[in-house]
Amino acid sequence: MLDVAQASAEVKVAAAGRVADRGGAYIEEEVEMKWIVCALCALALPACRKQDPEPAQPSALPVASSAALPVSSTAPAPEAVAPAKTEGARSWSFDGDTPGEAPRGFSFARTGEGREPRFVIEASGDAPSKPNVLVQRDADPTDFRFPMAVVEGASFTDVDLSVSCKAVSGKVDRACGLVWRYQDADNYYVTRANALEGNVRIYYVKAGKRVQLESWRGEVPTGAWVKLRVEAKGDHFVVSFGGAKILDVKDSTFSGAGKVGVWTKADSVTEFDDLSARPL
C-alpha cells in the first residue's frame, strides 16, 4: 500500500510541474489542486481508519422480556375492611345495682307523648333471681306513651332476646315488652304482652309510628312472673310467651344491628328481671 507521506510529496511535485508548464493558468491549476487534495484524502482514509478505530457503539440497554415480568391477572386487592364487631352473650340480673337508683349501663327513652320514664332498681322478695328487679314506676296515663330502658355498649343483629316480667298495675294499660334492632326512640322492633287486653303482639315502630305485624290472644297474668322471648334472625321473628311459641312473622323494615332493651306503655307499672341477649 502507498505510504501517505510519500504520496503527498509526489502529488506536490506533480502539481508544481503543472503550474510551470501551464504558464499561469491559475484557475485550471486551482481545479487540479482540488483534485489532488481529493486523491490524497482517498489515500489517507484507510490509514486514518487503522490509526483511529471507530469508537465502540454503546451497548443497547437490556430489554426485559415480557415473559420474565410478573404480571398480575387481577386488579390489586382492595384494602381489607375489619368485620363488624359481634357481641357475645350478655345478661342483666340487676342484682349488682343499688336499690332506688337507675340501673348502670342503660339509657332511657320514650316514644310518643307524656312524661319521661322512671326506671329504678328495687328489692323484690319474689324476683326470679334475688334480690333486685328493674321497675318502671312512673304511672303517667298518656295513652300514646312508650317508656324504654335500653342497653348501652352492645348491639345485635340476629339475637335470642328474653326477659322475665311481671305486670303490677295500670288502668290504661298493663304491659311488658322487649325491643331489638333499636336505632332511636322512634325506630325499632317491639313485642309486648298486655294483661288488660289479654294478647301478645309484635310491631315495628318507624318514624314514631307503630305498625302491627301479628297478634296472639290468650291469658296474660297480672301479679305473676312470666317469660317473654323473641328469636330474631334476618327477617324472621319467633315470639314465645311462658315457654310456648305463639307468633311467627317475617319483616325487613330494620335489617341492621341495633340495641336491645325493655318496654312498657302508658301507666303500666312493670317489673323486669334477668334480661338476656344471645347472638344467633
Give the tens place of pLDDT for each residue, 177-231: 999 999 999 999 999 999 999 999 999 999 999 999 999 999 999 999 999 999 9
User: Average pLDDT of the chain?
Assistant: 80
Maximum distance among all Cα pairs of the chain, rounded to whole angstroms: 153
What value does the CA radius of gyration of the chain take, rounded to a whole number of Å?
Answer: 50
Contact criterion met (CB below 8 Å) for 182 and 150:
yes
Contacts of 72 (CB under 8 A, 6+ apart): none
| Burial (0-12, 13-18, 19+ Cβ within 10 Å), 15 | middle
Overall CATH class of domain 90-279: mainly beta
Torsion 15-18-23-24 (CA) sign: negative
Poorest-confidence range of 12-26, 138-152, 224-238? 12-26
pLDDT, tens digit (0-9, with 9 covering 90-100), for 151-168: 999 999 999 999 999 999
Number of H helices, E strands in the chain: 2, 15
Cell numbers found for residue 29: 491549476
Measure the CA–CA gap between 277 and 246, rounded to whole angstroms.
Answer: 20
Q: Which residue has better confidence, 123 or 7?
A: 123
- Model confidence at 53, in pLDDT bands (50, 70, 90)? very low
Domain extents for the chain?
Answer: 4-51, 90-279
